[in-house]
Homo-oligomer: A and B are copies of this chain.
Amino acid sequence: MARAGLTAERVVRAAADLADEVGFDNITVSALARSFGVKDASLYSHVKNVRDLRTRVAVLAAGELADRIGAAVAGRAGKDALAAFAGAYRDFALERPGRYAATQIQLDPAAVAESPGHLRNVEYTYGMLRAYGLSEPDLTDAVRLLRSTFHGFVSLESTGGFGHSRDVRASWDRSVDALHTLLEHWTS
């Protein structure tokens, strides 16, 4: 019979798509095998186990997020860069919820060190803050506040945590504005 032509890469990409559909926590090698018209056991030659599959999806997703953020902040600085970063971040989280969730799981440090996407995201964040002229430990405090707010917002938004009728996008823009003024007066 004709082969499906599986590859570790194709399997991981399909898993990421599946995650965007049913949620990252609900990806299963059974469903993945079904989508390829293949038996479960066949996938275990491309992927060690579910845990391995998840970390591979995380690495892939972090790379895609980094691509978007990198494109958004290219050639920008200050408030302009902050707004572009924020927009790319939120868009990615809302358009690719499974992939976004994947970027947030904890990997062993070794895996993170080998994931270009994870590293690039950190670099972009620190790079974006360069224009505000902060130095340690203020810089790291600011990075943590930014990451917390961004992640918390899209996390609450995508789990339906915002019940009020107020337009969510408007709240987001307002928050990003507020963070900008905060960063400008961070040291005082």
Asked whether, in the complex, the Cβ of A171 is within 8 Å of the Cβ of B151, the reply is no
Copies in the complex: 2
* Among candidates B153, B164, B166, residue contacting A152 with C-beta atoms closer than 8 Å: B153
Which residues of chain B come closer than 8 Å to A168, judged between CB atoms? 144
* Among candidates B25, B106, B149, B161, residue contacting A160 with C-beta atoms closer than 8 Å: B106
Asked whether, in the complex, the Cβ of B141 is within 8 Å of the Cβ of A166, the reply is yes
The interface of chain A, by Cβ under 8 A from chain B, is 25, 104-106, 109, 136-138, 140-141, 143-145, 147-153, 155-156, 159-164, 166, 168, 170-171, 174-175, 178, 181-182, 185-186
* Among candidates B25, B152, B162, residue contacting A150 with C-beta atoms closer than 8 Å: B152
Asked whether, in the complex, the Cβ of B153 is within 8 Å of the Cβ of A155, the reply is no
Asked whether, in the complex, the Cβ of B141 is within 8 Å of the Cβ of A106, the reply is no
The docked-state distance in angstroms from the alpha carbon of A80 to that of B79 is 31
Closest 8 pairs between A and B when the two form their complex, measured CB to CB? A152-B152, A148-B152, A148-B153, A151-B152, A140-B166, A141-B174, A145-B175, A106-B160
Which residues of chain B come closer than 8 Å to A181, judged between CB atoms? 182, 185
Which residues of chain B come closer than 8 Å to A156, judged between CB atoms? 144, 147-148, 151
The docked-state distance in angstroms from the alpha carbon of A163 to that of B144 is 10
